[in-house]
Structure 1
C-alpha cells in the first residue's frame, strides 16, 4: 500500500482517538447525575477538612424503601435512604447514591463501584457466601397479591398456579420452595402488576409494605399474608467481603434501635392505611399528572447519547471500512474479526461487559453514560463499516482512475470525490442505523442511565401502573423518529440536487 493510503488511515485513526477522548468529556456524569468516582478512591482520597465519601448502591423502584421523588425534587427518597443518611452522617461520611437495577447491585458491590448496598435486601445464606451484611434493620412479611375475582389466600392454594416474583429477591427464593408452582421471574415490581392485571400470572409474592401500595393503587387486587416463617431473614446493609466499615455501621444501628430513631424512620415511610385514589378504568392518563416534566428531562439524555454514539460509530466504522479495502492483510483480518464479534454477540451483553468488566480489569470506574456510548458506538461501527465499504465500492471505478490521472492526492480524492458520492448512496442506511440507535437507547436504563426508559420505570414504580406511561414514552420515541426522518429527507434532497 502506498504512502497516500497510509496517510488517510492514520488520519482516520487520529480522528477516532480524538472522538473517543471527547466521549469522556461529553459523558462525565454518573448514572445518578453526579460525578462518577470509584468507591474505593472516593473514601480514601478525601482531602483534609473534607468529608470522606461513601457510595451507596440501590434500586430506586421499590417504595417505600427507595424510589425517585419524580413529582418534586427528582431525588431518591425512602426508608433505606433515610437510614443510610443518618448512619453516614453519624460516622462523618458524605453519602452518594448510585441507582441501578436490583439484579446488578451485588455485581456493583463486588467490582468496587459502590461501598455498600441498601435496597430492601435480605441477608440470605446464599448471599453471605459472596458479600457481608450488617445487623438486620427491618423484618418484613411475605404476602400473596392476587385478583379479587380469584383470590389465593394460602401457600397451598399456590400449587399448580403461575406465580410472579422479582428476580433475585427473597420472595423469589421462597417461591421456589412452593411445590407445583410455575414461576415467572421479572426484574421489576411494576412488571409483576402488569402481568397480574393482564392475567398472565395468577398471583405475585411480594412483601407486606409493597403489597399495601399495590392493592391501594389497584382496586381489583387483594393481599393475603403468608406464614411469618416464609420470610427467612430481615433486611440488612450489604458490604464487600471483609469491609472495614461493617462494625461502624452496626454500632450506629444499635444506637438507632436503642434511642428509637429507627422506629421513627419506619413509621415515617410505611403506609398508614389511608385510601389512595385509583381509577377503575383500564387506561387512565391522569396518573401522569406531575410526572411529565420529569419524564421529558430524559429526552435530552436520549438525544445526546444517540448523537454521540452515532458520530463515534460513523468515524470508527469509516476507519474499519478503510481497513477492509486497504489491501493490508493484518488490517483486513482485524476489521473482519471485529465486525464478526460485534455483529455476532447481543448488544446488551456488550453493554454489561463494558460497564461491569472495565472496573474489574482496568481498575477504572467508567461512568454509565460513557460505557453506554462506547458500547453502542462500537456495535454500530461494525454494521456501518460494511455499509460504508459497500458505498465506497459502489462509486464508479472511473472516478478513481480520473482522479489518479489528474494527479489528485489520495486523501483529497477520498474526502472530496469518493466519500461524498458514497454518502449519498448509503444515506438511507445511515438514517436507519441512527433510528435503530435512538430506539435501542432504551437498553441503557439497565445500568441506571436516566434516559426516557429509566424515567418511565421510575413512574411505573411510583404508580404501580404501566400501560399509560409506556404509551406516553412510545409516543415520544415516535415523534423523535419522525423528526429525525424529516431531517434525513431534507438532507437527501439537498445531496441529490446535482442529479
Structure 2
C-alpha cells in the first residue's frame, strides 16, 4: 500500500511541476505589451486570417499569414520603422481586441460604418469592394430582389448584415466564418450567401456547383480601411503612409498582385461528394495542431485537478468561510457558459490589469478553472467514499490531518474516481476546439484555415474529426492500462 501511495504522490507532484513548466513556456511570449512602443519599435495588427485574398494562413509556408492586408500593413510598418506582429482572431472579436488594447490596429477587410465609428477610429480607405451573391447553380438568384423571402447567410459582424436589410422579408443566418456559410449553402440550409467579390470569385472558381452574381457597387460598395482604438496616435502617420503608397503606385501593385492570382488554390472542383486529394499538402499543418491541443489539454487537466482537489478539501473543511467560497465558486463556474468565461479572461484581463495574457495561457486558465469546479465535486465524492475507519485509525495513531489526507485518503479517492477523471480529460480534448475563437492554432483552428485556403467546407472537418477520435481512443486506452495496473497493486 505504501509503494502505491508513494507512486501516486510522485505522479501528482510531477503533474504540478508540469503545470508550472507549461505556464513558464507560454508566459514569456506575453512579456511585451501589444501596444506600439517607441523603444521596442513593435506594432501589433489584429486580423481574421480566413478571408483570402485579404488575409489567410499559408499552410505550405509553415502557417505564415499572407494576403493583401498583410502586405499593406508590412509596407506601412516599414515606412514608419516598426516591426510588425500579427495577432489572429475571429472577425467578431477584432473590435474587442482593439478596445482591450490587445492590438494596435486592425486590418481584416473591415468596412467603414457609422456604427463602428462609435467604437473605433478609421484610416482613409485603401480599397473599395463590391458585394456578391453566391448561390447554387441554376438557382436563378442574381439580384437582391430575387432574394425576397429567401434564407440568406452573412458573416457575423460584417457589413453584409446591412445589405440583407435591403431584402424583403429574408431569413438571415449569421455565422463567424465564410467557410461555414459556404457549407451551409451546400447543405441547403440557406438559399444564398452574400460575401465580398474577391472571396466569392475564389469559391466559385473552386466549386463547380456555385454561381456568383455581382451586386451593383452603387447599391452596396464597401470601403475598406484600417481600424484604430479611439484617439490612437497612429491614425495620422498611417494615413500619410497610405497616401504615399497611392501616389507612388505601390498600393495599386499590391492590389493587382492579389486580385490577379485568384487561381492559386488549384483547379476547379467538379462534381462528386468529397475531394480529400486537395487536403494532402495540408496534412503536416493539420497534424502540428495535435501538439497545441495536447499541451492545452494537459495543462488544463493538471491545473483543474490540483485546484479541484483543493476546492474539495475546502468543501469538507470545518471552516465556514472556506466552505462558502468553494460553494460559490462551483456555482459560478458551473452556472455560466465556458465560452463566456474564456472570452472574459482573454479580453478583460488586458483591459483591467494591463497584462497581455497570451491566448494559450488564457485558454488553459479558463478551462482549468471551469474543470476544477466539476472535479471538486467528483473528488469530494471520492474522498467521502473512502472507509471512515481509515480516517479514524490515522487520527488515533496521531497522524497529522494534512499527511492523512494526502498520503492515505487522497490516493484511494483518486483510484475510486479514475473513470470520472478520464471522462473529464476526454471532454477537455473535445472542448478544446473552443479555443479557436481566440486565435489559438489548435486542430479546429487549423481546419478553419484549410477551409479558407482550399475553399472546401466539409473535407477539412472530417479529417480533423478523425484526428480527435484517434486522440480520444489513445487517451481511453492509456486510462484502461492505468486502471488495470492500479487493480493489480491492491
Give the TM-score taking structure 2 as reference length. 0.94
User: Matched residue pairs, number?
Assistant: 476
- Residue 369 of structure 1 pairs with residue 360 of structure 2: yes
- Residue 80 of structure 1 pairs with residue 52 of structure 2: no
1:424 corresponds to: 415
Specify which of 150, 164, 189 is matched with residue 178 of structure 2: 189
- Residue 111 of structure 1 pairs with residue 80 of structure 2: no
Alignment of 1:229-240 (within 5 A): 229-240=218-229
2:439 corresponds to: 448
Structure 1 window deviating more from structure 2 (421-430 vs 147-156): it is 147-156
Preserved contact between residue 456 and residue 470 of structure 1 (Cα < 8 Å): yes
- Residue 39 of structure 1 pairs with residue 34 of structure 2: yes
1:259 corresponds to: 248
- Residue 58 of structure 1 pairs with residue 47 of structure 2: yes
1:5 corresponds to: none
- Aligned-pair Cα RMSD in Å: 1.8
Alignment of 1:246-325 (within 5 A): 246-272=235-261, 276-325=267-316
Flag structure 1 segments of 5+ consecutive residues without an equivalent: 1-13, 47-51
Q: Which runs of 4+ in 1 moved over 3 A?
A: 14-24, 271-275
- Distance of 2:116 and 2:404 partners within structure 1: 61
- Distance of 1:158 and 1:106 partners within structure 2: 30
- Distance of 1:452 and 1:272 partners within structure 2: 28
Specify which of 120, 129, 136 is matched with residue 147 of structure 1: 136
Secondary structure of the corresponding residue to residue 348 of structure 1: helix
- Residue 473 of structure 1 pairs with residue 464 of structure 2: yes
2:126 corresponds to: 137
Secondary structure of the corresponding residue to residue 127 of structure 2: coil
Flag structure 2 segments of 5+ consecutive residues without an equivalent: 1-12
- Distance of 2:372 and 2:230 partners within structure 1: 40
- Distance of 1:345 and 1:20 partners within structure 2: 25
Structure 1 residue 44: Cα displacement: 3.9
Secondary structure of the corresponding residue to residue 373 of structure 2: helix
Secondary structure of the corresponding residue to residue 96 of structure 2: helix
1:10 corresponds to: none
Secondary structure of the corresponding residue to residue 129 of structure 2: coil
Structure 1 residue 73: Cα displacement: 3.0
Give the TM-score taking structure 1 as reference length. 0.92
- Residues 1:17 and 1:492: Cα distance change in structure 2 (over 3 Å): closer
Specify which of 447, 464, 474 is matched with residue 483 of structure 1: 474
Preserved contact between residue 164 and residue 186 of structure 1 (Cα < 8 Å): yes
Structure 1 window deviating more from structure 2 (274-283 vs 246-255): it is 274-283
Structure 1 residue 28: Cα displacement: 2.8
- Residues 1:19 and 1:497: Cα distance change in structure 2 (over 3 Å): closer
- Residues 1:17 and 1:364: Cα distance change in structure 2 (over 3 Å): farther
